[in-house]
Amino acid sequence: MPLWPFDKKRIGLVLGGGVARGLAHIGVLKVIEQYKIPIDYVAAASSGSIVGAVFAAGMEVRLIEELALRISWGRILKVTFFRPGLMSGEAIEDLIIKYVGDKKFSELKIPFAVAATDLKTGEPVIINWGRVAKAVAASVAFPGLFAPEEVKQHTVVDGAISANLPVDLAKQMGANFIIASDVVPTCPVNYLPKDPFQVFGRSLDIILHKLSLEQRKQADILIEPKMDEDIWHFDLHKAKKLIAAGEAAAHQSLRKLQRSYH
């Protein structure tokens, strides 16, 4: 039984992008499971779509965590040739298929949708049909690193560019109570970036945070994992710390909500 009354709520879980920091969403899922909060919809963007897809497919959270602790860039990156990107999204598709199968959206246990970005117009493209693995690959197609994906009449890249925290998408799906996990840091970093990738990543974080302000305001519960150290976009090897940060932030937010009911 939930620790507070959710019986009249249709709960939407929103998982934002943040490259490696998207692993912090797993800690959020652990707490949601512990508090027995029933999730009715999942909306995600970028790296959040990977976690969201396996969760919506019904994978146990403990297995998602085990997978995250073993993951490496070598398993995700697949070099491509003669395409406008260094890497192909096929490795992302293969990863999703390996662990949950080549499912269609209609086969998922929880209604799920991802955001991608139309490369021509800059507008969000919502994907909630067809093959889940293909949709996830489209949502994580980080510009320049991953080649753009073709989704029907759209050429799309990373959903973070247009809708990094797609709260409005969860509402469109039918949710009337939103739990949003935003893994883009809002606090100043402790140290200046040390290489071009970190400089680019930090600059991107600043932009994404500003673009997500309105979406953040629409969340009923906003979970913001905080790290004791600066964790950069490509730090997959810090999965344990990221998951712990997500867990701590979720406990803090949900305890605050729980107290308001007593």
The answer to whether residue 223 is domain-embedded is: yes
The answer to whether residue 100 is domain-embedded is: yes
The answer to whether residue 3 is domain-embedded is: no
| pLDDT for position 58 | 97
Domain region containing 51: 11-260
The answer to whether residue 21 is domain-embedded is: yes
The answer to whether residue 162 is domain-embedded is: yes
| pLDDT for position 248 | 96
Q: Which CATH number goes with the domain that contains 124?
A: 3.40.1090.10
Per-residue model confidence as pLDDT tens for the chain (262 residues): 445 556 678 999 999 998 888 999 999 999 999 999 999 999 999 999 999 999 999 999 999 999 888 875 455 544 344 344 445 568 889 889 999 999 999 999 999 999 999 999 999 999 999 999 999 999 999 887 778 888 888 999 999 999 999 999 999 999 999 999 999 988 787 778 787 877 877 888 888 888 899 999 999 999 999 877 677 676 778 889 999 999 999 999 988 777 655 5
The answer to whether residue 56 is domain-embedded is: yes
| Residues with catalytic function | 46, 158
Indicate the number of domains in the chain. 1
| pLDDT for position 28 | 97
The answer to whether residue 4 is domain-embedded is: no
The answer to whether residue 6 is domain-embedded is: no
User: Cα(227)–Cα(221) distance, rounded to whole angstroms?
Assistant: 19
